[in-house]
């Protein structure tokens, strides 16, 4: 049976399963197993369904374990654990309070503080959804209480949550590095400048909107002394110390991302315990949340690995790579088409599922087009994060809605993120036009 035709049929089946709300891990695994059985049945020319079943079972016995046993993947639960320890030790509140005090003199100060706090929490969480959920519980109620427009309050936090996947550490960067066989350390460091640029662009649009429409935020009334600012800043030393240490050892090559993540998680635990802000129940809650999140991510990853094997056997990836190599004159338009597809998929699917579903096909194409895969990995994560706040199914928006209850309607949140989406488009354009912004720090790592 023709491999391209079979790949097309399996893709259609997969989309059908996702459309009827089959969990993504089960959908990926079912489609992949079905495709492998059919491929094995017709592999020898003469149909032999027994060989199809045996070859598929043999792969299922071998590939899942060999994939999960990858040492680099252990960075994911460590980053998750580090973020959960930080949240339960009150580091999130400290970050928000410090940002609030320092930015109180600006119009829309609380919204600006929310972006800054999202960036700080992103530096030790690695997850967009975790950042949006944590900051939503703290920042949105405070902003609404002080008279901020619900659209501005929720839009700022939903957009700020996307910093969780750009600013290192980043779970999406780890997954991309493993599947694309690129340096995870370089990917993590490569996301730092775009993450800061994104945060600054969000702050700029908040200042612009509040100045044009003062009704979005109350007048500035709070004043703080320099002593107050220094006092609140001192509370964030836990986040700053762990972030500098984790990123520093990765950048210097002193430790792998997995080792740095484990050290970071242990450091947050010890600091929280010594400050008497992390007790038995908090530790247990953090571990329990980490186990659940890790199980979900690994289930999707294992199922995707089986699908990757199927796609490799069909030869579709190689065919598309050859096609891309022959379209050098229009490679920019191919890249734009890929970007548009990722934003479209991001409206409906989880970013991890999108990444694992598409990488087997997209990475060979991008490589054949001559683009740097470290640069593309950072751009890809940014594209996926744009999808996280894009209607109709922006996951960050729904996670935020679950965190804030009835403080804002889902329609208000989606309307609130529109200005931030426009800034994301501008930021993406800059990242594509100036790849040096992404590659300057990763290139220095080799030097």
Q: Report how far residue 29's alpha carbon sits from residue 21's, in angstroms, rounded to the nearest whole number.
A: 14
Indicate if the pLDDT at residue 322 is higher than 70: no
Indicate if the pLDDT at residue 197 is higher than 70: yes
Q: Report how far residue 379's alpha carbon sits from residue 138's, in angstroms, rounded to the nearest whole number.
A: 30
pLDDT value for 321: 62
pLDDT value for 298: 83
pLDDT digits over 386-404, tens only?
A: 888 887 767 788 888 887 8
Between the CA of residue 259 and those of 185, 219, 246, 253, 265, what are the distances in Å?
A: 11, 47, 9, 11, 10
Cis bond before residue 392 (omega within 30° of 0): yes
Q: Please give the average per-residue pLDDT across 285-293, as a whole number.
A: 87
pLDDT digits over 82-123, tens only?
A: 888 888 888 778 888 888 888 877 878 888 988 988 888 887
Tell me the pLDDT of the chain averaged across its residues.
83
pLDDT value for 44: 56
pTM of the model: 0.79
Indicate if the pLDDT at residue 1 is higher than 60: no
3-state secondary structure of 438: helix
Indicate if the pLDDT at residue 71 is higher than 80: no
pLDDT value for 3: 66
Q: Report how far residue 26's alpha carbon sits from residue 259's, in angstroms, rounded to the nearest whole number.
A: 31
């Amino acid at each position: 049976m023709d491999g391209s035709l079979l790949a097309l049929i399996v893709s259609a089946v997969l989309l059908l399963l996702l459309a009827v709300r089959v969990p993504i891990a089960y959908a990926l695994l079912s489609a992949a197993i079905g495709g492998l059985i059919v491929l094995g049945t017709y592999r020898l020319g003469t149909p032999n369904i027994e060989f199809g079943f045996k070859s598929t079972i043999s792969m299922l016995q071998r590939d899942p374990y060999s994939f999960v046993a990858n040492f680099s993947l252990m960075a994911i639960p460590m980053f998750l654990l580090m973020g959960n320890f930080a949240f339960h030790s009150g580091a999130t509140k400290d970050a928000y309070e410090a940002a609030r005090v320092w930015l109180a003199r600006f119009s829309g100060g609380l919204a600006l503080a929310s972006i800054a706090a999202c960036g700080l929490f992103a530096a030790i969480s690695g997850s967009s959804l975790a950042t949006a959920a944590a900051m939503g519980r703290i920042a949105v109620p405070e902003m609404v209480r002080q008279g901020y427009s619900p659209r501005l309050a929720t839009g700022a936090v939903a957009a700020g949550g996307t910093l969780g996947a750009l600013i290192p550490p980043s779970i999406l960067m780890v997954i991309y590095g493993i599947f694309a066989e690129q340096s995870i350390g370089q990917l993590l460091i490569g996301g730092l400048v775009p993450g800061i640029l994104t945060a600054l662009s969000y702050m700029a649009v908040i200042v612009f909107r509040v100045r044009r429409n003062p009704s979005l935020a109350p007048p500035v009334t709070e004043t703080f002394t320099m002593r107050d600012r220094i006092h609140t800043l001192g509370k964030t030393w836990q986040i700053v110390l762990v972030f500098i240490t984790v990123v520093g050892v990765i950048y210097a090559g002193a430790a792998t991302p997995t080792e740095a993540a484990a050290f970071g998680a242990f450091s947050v635990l010890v600091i929280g315990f010594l400050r008497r802000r992390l007790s038995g129940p908090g530790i247990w809650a953090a571990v329990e949340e980490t186990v659940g999140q890790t199980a979900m991510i690994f289930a999707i990853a294992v199922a995707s690995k089986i699908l990757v094997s199927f796609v490799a056997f069909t030869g579709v990836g190689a065919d598309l790579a050859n096609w891309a190599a022959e379209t050098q004159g229009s490679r920019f338009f191919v890249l734009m088409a890929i970007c548009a597809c990722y934003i479209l998929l991001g409206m409906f699917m989880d970013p991890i599922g999108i990444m694992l579903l598409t990488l087997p096909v997209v990475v060979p194409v991008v490589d054949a087009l001559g683009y740097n895969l470290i640069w593309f990995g950072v751009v890809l994560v940014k594209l996926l994060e744009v999808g996280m706040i894009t209607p109709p199914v922006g996951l960050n928006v729904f996670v935020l809605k679950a965190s804030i209850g009835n403080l804002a309607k889902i329609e208000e949140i989606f309307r609130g993120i529109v200005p931030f989406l426009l800034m994301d488009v501008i930021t993406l354009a800059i990242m594509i036009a100036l790849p040096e912004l992404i590659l300057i720090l990763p290139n220095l790592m080799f030097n």
